[in-house]
């Protein structure tokens, strides 16, 4: 049986401030460096419209040991409100960051080294890779990629402006889908095609529908990945969730419906908000390459959120969309005891269109003692820190 308790005197401490807006984006990437000292951010001059082809976001590094000093280290023309430019620290490298950009008629990714000990933010070199990244493998060797122009057209707020979808007239192209790219050489291959997915156990709603892929994520050992296959015939999109080997082998359809936000719980299990006949709408723990599922916190979570597991595996961190009171809740859930702790409820500026909303997208630091969120509760889009060490160190 789960418990529902108020967390107590937790505070959202400002990490950034105006007049510019600052945000990080998605919840499943490393915002903190390996030392838990520096955090990444994007800085933009507006937050009331979608970014256009020439809108530039500045890439910044915040040093928490120097009074949260922010230094700009680069810029990008490939960004969106939900997932920014996929900015993150590169795994297995102490001082390298990776992010997406647009150069000429291509979306690309950039690996940039920052100079350790010479001064925060001073650049040493930039290496351009031929495809944009969606997710980086935990071993730091490869990345998964997709067509961000198609994503911008089919799911506004998640793709990038500036380049046309090269297969716009094809509802399920055979030469588009999930790509894997070597981060050393830039070599890349298509491993799952949209056409193959559209032909796999088709249903009536796929007739005449436009298909795409979204939300790619490697498992902890970098051997398999998750992705969502989506299609829309004009009546709203539908979703199937799959896992797959990195070479396109071992494709497995996860036996749930309406899969939304997810994370790898461990190498063989997936934590996902979804619907099933057994558990209804709930957080599901699904066993990879199996039909086995169970519910997590079914009696205390009734709405979708951006879920992750703490570095020590003891806690689930999540948020929810805006409630009837106009606020967004931030919660921790102790996985062993079933105890839910509500940390904060933060007001959110109304968004004129869905893609402009500011989700909290809570992100752990490496030691599991702090959480960083994006929020508009003080009138601009900024980043805030929430110290949860009193909970996570005593669990």
Domain boundaries, the chain: 21-305
Please answer whether residues 218 and 225 qualify as being in contact, where contact means their C-beta atoms are separated by less than 8 angstroms: yes
Residue 9 has pLDDT above 90, yes or no: no
pLDDT at position 92: 85
Confidence of residue 93 (pLDDT cuts 50, 70, 90): confident
Q: H/E element holding 148?
A: helix 148-154
Cα–Cα distance between 301 and 345 in angstroms, integer?
A: 15
CB 353 within 8 A of CB 310: no
Please report which confidence band the pLDDT of residue 395 belongs to, taking 50, 70 and 90 as the band edges.
low
Contacts 24+ apart (CB under 8 A), 33-37: 33/89, 33/94, 33/95, 34/89, 34/94, 34/366, 35/366, 36/365, 36/366, 36/367, 36/370, 37/63, 37/64, 37/65
Which is more confidently placed, 125 or 168? 168
Question: What is the structure's pLDDT at 94?
Answer: 81
Cβ-proximal residues to 186 (8 Å cutoff; 6+ apart), any chain: 129, 130, 131
% of residues, the chain, pLDDT over 90 = 90
Looking at 9-18, 111-120, 197-206, which range is the least confident one?
111-120
Chain segment 219-263, per-residue pLDDT in tens:
999 999 999 999 998 989 999 999 999 999 999 999 999 999 999
Separation CA 343–CA 28 (nearest Å): 20
Bridge partners for 263 per DSSP:
271
Asked if residue 45 has a cis previous peptide bond (ω within 30° of 0), the answer is no
What letter would DSSP give residue 150? H
pLDDT, tens only, 274-285: 999 999 999 999
Find the angle CA(320)-CA(355)-CA(97) to the nearest 5 degrees: 85
> What is the distance between the alpha carbons of residues 33 and 96, in angstroms, rounded to a whole number?
9
pLDDT in tens, 29-78: 999 999 999 999 999 999 999 999 999 999 999 999 999 999 999 999 99
Q: How confident is the model at residue 118 (pLDDT cuts 50, 70, 90)?
A: very low
Which residues have CB under 8 Å from 332's CB, separation 6+?
7, 315, 316, 317, 340, 341, 343, 388, 391
Q: Residues 293-301: what's their mean pLDDT?
A: 95
Mean pLDDT of 355-376: 97
N-term to C-term CA, the chain? 18
pLDDT of residue 291: 96
The residue that leads in pLDDT, 142 or 93, is 142
* Three-class SS state of 116: coil
pLDDT category, 8, cuts 50, 70, 90? low
Q: How many DSSP H helices and E strands does the chain contain?
A: 3, 29
Token pair in block for residue 343: 């940390």
Tokens of 328: 């967004």
CB 32 within 8 A of CB 38: yes
pLDDT at 299: 87
Q: CA 227 → CA 138, 195, 235, 262, distances in Å?
A: 16, 15, 22, 10
d(CA 99, CA 365): 19
Model confidence at 101: pLDDT above 70: yes
Residue 122's pLDDT band (cuts 50, 70, 90)? low
CB of 93 closer than 8 Å to CB of 73: no
Predicted local confidence at residue 275, as pLDDT? 97
Could you give the CA distance from residue 358 to residue 353 in angstroms, rounded to a whole number? 11
Q: Look at domain 21-305 and name its CATH class.
A: mainly beta
What value does the mean pLDDT take over residues 162-171? Answer: 96
Taking 70 as the threshold, does the pLDDT of residue 389 lie above it? yes
Q: What is the mean pLDDT of residues 124-139?
A: 94
Query: Does 108 have pLDDT greater than 70?
Result: yes
Tokens read off for 180: 């894997």
DSSP 392: H
Q: CA distances (Å), 353 to each of 48, 81, 349, in order?
A: 9, 12, 12
Nearest-angstrom CA–CA distance, 296 and 38:
33
Tens of pLDDT along 137-164?
999 999 999 999 999 999 999 999 999 9
Please name which of 14, 95, 111, 99 lies closest in space to residue 58, comparing C-alpha atoms. Answer: 99
User: Which residues fall within 8 angstroms of residue 279, CB to CB, at 6 or more apart?
Assistant: 293, 294, 295, 298
Cα 204 off chain centre by: 31
| The pLDDT value given to residue 6 | 46
């Amino acid at each position: 049986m789960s418990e529902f308790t108020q967390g107590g005197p937790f505070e959202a401490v400002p990490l950034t401030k105006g007049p510019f807006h600052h945000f990080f984006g998605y919840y499943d990437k490393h915002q903190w460096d390996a030392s838990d000292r520096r955090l990444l951010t994007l800085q933009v001059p507006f937050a009331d419209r979608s970014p256009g082809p020439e809108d530039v976001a500045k890439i910044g590094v915040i040093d928490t040991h120097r009074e949260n000093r922010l230094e700009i280290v680069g810029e990008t023309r490939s960004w969106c409100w939900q997932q920014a430019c996929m900015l993150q620290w590169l795994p297995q490298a102490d001082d390298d960051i990776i992010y997406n950009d647009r150069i000429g008629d291509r979306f690309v990714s950039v690996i940039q080294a920052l100079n350790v000990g010479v001064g925060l933010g001073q650049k040493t070199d930039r290496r351009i890779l031929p495809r944009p990244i969606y997710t980086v493998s935990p071993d730091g060797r490869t990345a998964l990629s997709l067509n961000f122009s198609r994503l911008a057209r089919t799911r506004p707020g998640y793709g990038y402006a500036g380049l046309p979808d090269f297969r716009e007239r094809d509802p399920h192209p055979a030469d588009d889908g999930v790509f894997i790219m070597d981060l050393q050489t830039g070599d890349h291959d298509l491993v799952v095609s949209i056409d193959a997915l559209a032909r796999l156990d088709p249903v009536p709603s796929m007739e005449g529908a436009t298909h795409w892929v979204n939300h790619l994520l490697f498992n902890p050992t970098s051997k398999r990945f998750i992705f969502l296959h989506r299609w829309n015939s004009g009546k709203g999109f539908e979703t199937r969730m799959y896992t797959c080997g990195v070479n396109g082998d071992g494709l497995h359809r996860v036996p749930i419906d309406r899969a939304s936000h997810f994370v790898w719980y461990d190498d063989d299990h997936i934590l996902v908000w979804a619907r099933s006949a057994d558990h209804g709408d709930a957080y599901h723990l699904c066993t990879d390459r199996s039909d086995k599922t169970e519910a997590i916190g079914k009696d205390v979570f009734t709405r979708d959120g951006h879920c992750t597991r703490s570095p020590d595996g003891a806690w689930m961190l999540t948020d929810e969309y805006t409630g009837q009171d106009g606020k967004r809740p931030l919660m921790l859930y102790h996985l062993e005891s079933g105890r839910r702790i509500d940390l904060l409820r933060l007001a959110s500026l109304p968004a004129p269109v869905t893609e402009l909303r500011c989700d909290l997208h809570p992100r752990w630091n490496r030691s599991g003692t702090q959480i960083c969120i994006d929020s508009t509760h003080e009138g601009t889009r900024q980043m805030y820190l929430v110290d949860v060490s009193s909970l996570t160190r005593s669990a």
